Structure 1
Amino acid sequence: MTDRQARLRPGVMALCGAVGLSLALTGCGGGSDDARPQTAPSAASTVSPVASASPADPDAATKAAVLASYTAMWVEQMKAYRKASPDGTKLDDYATLDALSAFERDLAHMKKNNTVIRGELGHEPEVTALDVDAKLPTATVEDCIDLSKWQTLDTKTNKTIPLPTAQPLRYVATATVERWDDNRWMVTEYEPDGSRTC
């Protein structure tokens, strides 16, 4: 692991001005914790990776590997959000640094607010940038997040918490994915942007 990989970078989550998934998770509560956008998926999301590569694209296999890691992260993240806990998941096999820290904050926030995720979260991920020649190969993934089948459940009342009226049902999230020394692609940053609809 390099020094860059070992250190935690400043958080990448947007603050209270942007619309993020924390609103979907908590039903837009009044506390400052409730205003922080989160990155939660539901457990049964629909992921349709798009490698954005033509058949002649020399980077097609690399883009497919990036999307495979990104998709695997979502699968594990959804397992965690269904129970508001990372226990029994392999989330840290695919996400690390800022991304993993943000997901762990989401889970702690959900546990504190007695919420879990039900329904589905749609995805349309695409590799939009790739630098395999860098010392630390890096890719950028843009994903169109679809909340139309998303549900946040209050575990105390067993009732669904409605999405805030300002929450867009489809918006863009951007992930940074790095290839580490063991040849694994790891999601190191994940940032939802409620101001960019898709």
Structure 2
Amino acid sequence: MYIIAGLGNPGKRYDGTRHNVGFEAIDLLAHRNGIKVNKLKHKALYGEGFWGGEKVVLVKPQTFMNLSGESLRDMMEFYKLDIKNLIVIYDDVDIEVGTLRIRQKGSSGSHNGMKSIIHQLQSHDFPRIRIGIGKPQYGDLADYVLGRFSKEEISPTVEAIERAALAVESIVKEGIELAMNRYNG
């Protein structure tokens, strides 16, 4: 069984923002696999389904980004899941727009949602997929991540979200090593 969490901020005002690419990846996975992400529990919207014999839970924490760990801690405790069966998808300003980085484990970097998850779970030993959103050339970082993509950034971002969804499916069905080899970069 896997919990697949996409990070973002709840509410219409955050739809389409750089910080919500994790939510968009969950929406795409739900659509591709016929899973309705419409249950509300554990401070999250979630839905359950099966891929290739594996149960999957698609999760969109509703705590706002900086408290994502509260929701995922509750989900992990409820399902009594091993930390290695959590996959987190999120935005990363340290990666070029449209680029993916898949890792088996790692630090939070500068991402407050990941800091919250690592703090709440007391571990960084879980797979993650980072979707590059690039850095602002000037201005406030918070304004940048809560802003929308430029026209030039939309196409590579949509493609990265699609690759992230394929990478998650690959991790669940074939393992993380193959997914890393196939989708990193």
Q: What TM-score do you get using the length of structure 2 for normalisation?
A: 0.31
Q: What TM-score do you get using the length of structure 1 for normalisation?
A: 0.29
Higher strand share: 1
Higher helix share: 2
